Amino acid sequence: MISAVLDTNVIISGVLFGGLPGKLLQFAARDQFQLLISDAILHELTEVLKRPKFKIPLEFVSELRLELNRTASLVITRSKIDAIKADPADNRILECAYDGRANFIVTGDRELLQFEIFRKIKIVSVSEFMKIIEES
């Protein structure tokens, strides 16, 4: 089965706006690919969704975390990667993917997309990953 780490921006976009990122979350919930996640990604997701600009109830954030815990495989990260200086939080995505032996990282982040491949892990956009899932 294909495994992937969804960048925090993809998860948030899927939860708040649906679209292709939302479809990816549905595919993960239906086991069409193995979603990998780490405590660091869950923490970042929680912190971002708690920001006042989103006006999201704390109960919703808690429910989302529970759903991700049910849907995703939790990766215990041991690696310390410092490949992205501009946004160190992106390194947590790389660590999760590397330690979880992911096939893909799915992101909308230009810093990550410019790598294209990181330690044999393909870094792709949401639309590219959708094509991969639909063809598999």
* Domains within the chain, CATH numbers bracketed: 3-135 (3.40.50.1010)
* Helical ranges in the chain per DSSP H: 8-17, 19-29, 39-49, 58-71, 89-99, 110-113, 126-135
Average pLDDT over residues 116-123: 96
Rounded CA separation 27/41 (Å)? 19
Reported as a single tens digit per residue, the pLDDT across 2-39 is 999 999 999 999 999 999 999 999 999 999 999 999 99
Rounded CA separation 122/113 (Å)? 9
- The pLDDT assigned to 10 comes to 97
Reported as a single tens digit per residue, the pLDDT across 36-80 is 999 999 999 999 999 999 889 989 999 999 999 999 999 999 999
- Say how many CA atoms lie within 13 Å of 61 toward its Cβ: 16
- Name the band, by pLDDT with cuts 50, 70 and 90, for residue 87: confident
- Torsion sign, CA atoms 41, 42, 45, 51: negative
- Name the band, by pLDDT with cuts 50, 70 and 90, for residue 85: confident
